[in-house]
Amino acid sequence: MIEGAKVLVRIGKSNLRSRNDEHTGNLLQSMRWKSARNSLAVYAGFERSYKFEALKGVGNHAHLVDRGTKDRYTKKGYFRGKMPASYFWTDTRNEGGGEAMRSIEKGIINMVENLKMKY
């Protein structure tokens, strides 16, 4: 299952590099996979908290980069911009879903074969 998460993170990083002009690389660094300790769950996405204070919360804006924002105005009516959507993570889920599932299937088959050999 970890291999499936790694596939999604790899494709997500590739999409982010190709679609966004990233200056700091913080969003790219925050893209990670994580395995749950006491279950079979594996998560792929953006890390929102870090051990290092300098990188704390850098993944919090991933949804804004992915989906974009509408025109933003202040209460006084000043225009503050619009974030165009790049859909890098949405497309990653759509494109990489099949490849991730195949990786998960291979992992399950290997695990079953190992258990057969063991017992």
Q: How far out from the chain centre does Cα 11 lie?
A: 9
Mean pLDDT of the chain, nearest integer: 83
pLDDT computed for residue 57 by the predictor: 55
Point out which residues pair with 45 in neighbouring strands. Answer: 32
Checking phi first, is residue 17 left (phi over 0); if not, alpha (psi -120 to 50) or beta?
alpha
pLDDT computed for residue 43 by the predictor: 79
Residue pLDDT, tens place only, 47-57: 765 555 555 55
Which tops the pLDDT comparison, 106 or 35?
106
Which residues make Cβ contacts (< 8 Å) with residue 103, sequence separation at least 6? 3, 4, 6, 7
Give the mean model confidence (pLDDT) for residues 1-11: 85
- Say what percent of the chain tops pLDDT 90: 18
pLDDT computed for residue 8 by the predictor: 87
Residue pLDDT, tens place only, 68-100: 899 999 999 999 999 888 888 888 888 888 888
Residue by residue, DSSP assigns 7-52 as: HHHHHHHHHHHHH---SS-HHHHHEEEEE-SSSS-EEEEE----SS
* 73: helix, strand or coil: strand
pLDDT computed for residue 54 by the predictor: 53
